[in-house]
Structure 1
Amino acid sequence: MLAKAMMMVAGLSMASLALAQATPKDTEVWTPEPGRVRPGAAHGAPSDALVLFGGKDLGEWVSAGAPDRPAPWTVAHGAFTVLGGSGDIQTRRSFTDYQLHIEWRVPSTLTGSGQARGNSGVFLASTGNGSGYEIQILDCHDNKTYVNGQAASIYKQHIPLVNACAAPGEWQSYDIVWTAPRFAADGTLASPAYVTALHNGVLVQNHVALPGESVHVGKPAYRKHGALPIRLQDHGDAVSFRNIWVRPLAAAPAR
């Protein structure tokens, strides 16, 4: 017992000596330096972002049902609006992990209720045929619906932490960090998708793990895929969008 106590005292003495000899520089990391990015002006895109809509045209978008055709939604006054019945639109390019900024507005004159009130959605990765991983767009300023289908929900999966909805007719924003799922060579899931989201600057999804793709009926599940487009939903309502940009994110460097 005495020998053990002496060893502990010796260990403490050596640790104290090492601490006494340490300097602040021992824990300073100087390289590699992070790349420099110029932040955007108010509501503007940062310098390394890809602008998906800057107010003029839908050149970065195509028809989701026919990707060889231009997006058919209407552009006017620095925004574009769902053309009901024309189908979803999606980005020309595909993405893996990214940061997305998107602004949206439901009409100021709404007559429906529940899910029939300014309904649309952002599919963070579109797996085709109306499928993918959806964050809901809906008027929930003064409108009740099932909470895992309200605005800023990961549809039918994750309820938003709070309701940060502005009134109909007001512009709103989503800022989203999407981490795509990873799959093994045999198609099994290696790691799930994760979402962090802010609605009008308020945290509503805090690095939540997704159990699979969003589905209206049944349970979510995964199918193996790689990089995919971002898709906007035509749910029949005249929802408008503006100021959309994305920053593709590289995997974090190993330390």
Structure 2
Amino acid sequence: MKKLLGLMVLSAVFFGCKETNSAKVEVNTQVVSKMIKEEPTKPEETEIYEPVPPKVTVGENGVPSDAIVLFDGTSLENWIHVADSSAVKWLLNEDGSMTVKDKTGSIQTKQNFGSVQLHVEWKSPAEVQREGQNRANSGVFLQNRYEVQVLDNNDNDTYVNGQVGSIYKQSIPLAMASKPSGEWNSYDIIYHAPEFAMSGDKLVSGTITVIHNGVLIQDHYELEGTTEYIGWPKNAVHGDAPIQLQDHQDNSRVSYRNIWVRALD
């Protein structure tokens, strides 16, 4: 019994010393950490001089000097039809815009893109025809998969996850900021592409921010997957892909102008 009590006392002393030493180590670590991250006392201690950001100037129509101009009103050479890669049959207008030619098919850029800053200007026709999803319906697709809806919603109700400025069938816009029918709208879109593992699993979801006529309507929305007309979003692995403008096949008569993009990869 005495031996047992003696062992218990020794154990208590041993573990007590161990805990004390551990506490000292923790205190010492905190002291060292504090010394390493000591509060700066001079302004230059928190000043960084490299890397120097590249200089970007803004030119005519607000186009940045490092942007790729996809459409400036002079030609349709940067675009092809989605279905067969043929020359674009949409209408090139004298005012520097292009208009969807009904039932000729959607168009896409010849060049592939990943993460981008995209500027697009669009308008519905002044003469109002049809209603709901059949009134001036088009869309801007990032990587041919993720649609920002274009639609004339002026006095024209529809399902809100399919209205103008929605991420189609996924995200309702924070506001409806459209100009009156027949006037030019602008979309400024910040898109970060999803990332996939070699196995095909999605590692990081894509995100979309949309500013419509200066109003934030999609705030870093995390994509669930592709924007499907029927069914749930899909997440098949993909890389860079074209930017697409939609022909909705319903005489939408939507026009586009001043389209440029800056790669963010």
TM-score range, shorter chain: 0.7 to 0.9
Q: Which residue is equivalent to 1:88?
A: 106
Give the unaligned 5+ runs of structure 1.
127-131, 251-255
- Structure 1 position 15, deviation (Å): 5.9
Please tell me whether Structure 1 or Structure 2 has the larger radius of gyration of its CA atoms: 2
**Which amino acid counterpart does residue 75 of structure 1 have in structure 2?**
L
Corresponding position: 1:97 with 2:115: yes
Pick closer, same or farther for the CA change 1:20–1:192 going to 2, 3 Å.
closer
Corresponding position: 1:34 with 2:34: no
- Structure 1 position 20, deviation (Å): 6.9
**CA shift digits 1:99-154 (9 cap, x unpaired):** 0000000011122111111100001111xxxxx11000001122111100000000
- Structure 1 position 19, deviation (Å): 5.5
Alpha-carbon distance between aligned partners in 2 of 1:85 and 1:20, rounded to the nearest angstrom? 66
Alpha-carbon distance between aligned partners in 2 of 1:165 and 1:58, rounded to the nearest angstrom? 26
Corresponding position: 1:246 with 2:264: no
Q: Give matches, 1:30-179, under 5 Å.
A: 30-41=49-60, 43-67=61-85, 69-76=86-93, 77-126=95-144, 132-179=145-192
Alpha-carbon distance between aligned partners in 2 of 1:104 and 1:36, rounded to the nearest angstrom? 29
TM-score by length of 1: 0.87
Alpha-carbon distance between aligned partners in 1 of 2:208 and 2:174, rounded to the nearest angstrom? 13
Q: Which residue is equivalent to 1:129?
A: none
**CA shift digits 1:35-89 (9 cap, x unpaired):** 1110234x3311000100001110100011112x111111012100000000000
**Which amino acid counterpart does residue 170 of structure 2 have in structure 1?**
Q
Give the unaligned 5+ runs of structure 2.
1-19
Q: Which residue is equivalent to 2:197?
A: 184
Structure with a larger share of its residues in strand: 1
Q: Number of residue pairs matched?
A: 240
Q: After TM superposition, which residue ranges in structure 1, 4 or more long, deviate above 2 angstroms?
A: 18-22
Q: Contact (CA 8 Å) 2:40, 2:46: kept in 1 or not?
A: no
CA RMSD in angstroms comes to 2.4
Alpha-carbon distance between aligned partners in 2 of 1:65 and 1:111, rounded to the nearest angstrom? 27
**Which amino acid counterpart does residue 87 of structure 2 have in structure 1?**
P
Structure with a larger share of its residues in helix: 2
Q: Which residue is equivalent to 1:253?
A: none
Q: Secondary structure at 1:115's aligned position in 2?
A: helix
Q: Secondary structure at 1:101's aligned position in 2?
A: strand
**CA shift digits 1:173-192 (9 cap, x unpaired):** 00001111111001110111
Alpha-carbon distance between aligned partners in 2 of 1:54 and 1:104, rounded to the nearest angstrom? 13
Q: Give matches, 1:218-233, under 5 Å.
A: 218-233=231-246
Alpha-carbon distance between aligned partners in 1 of 2:179 and 2:191, rounded to the nearest angstrom? 23
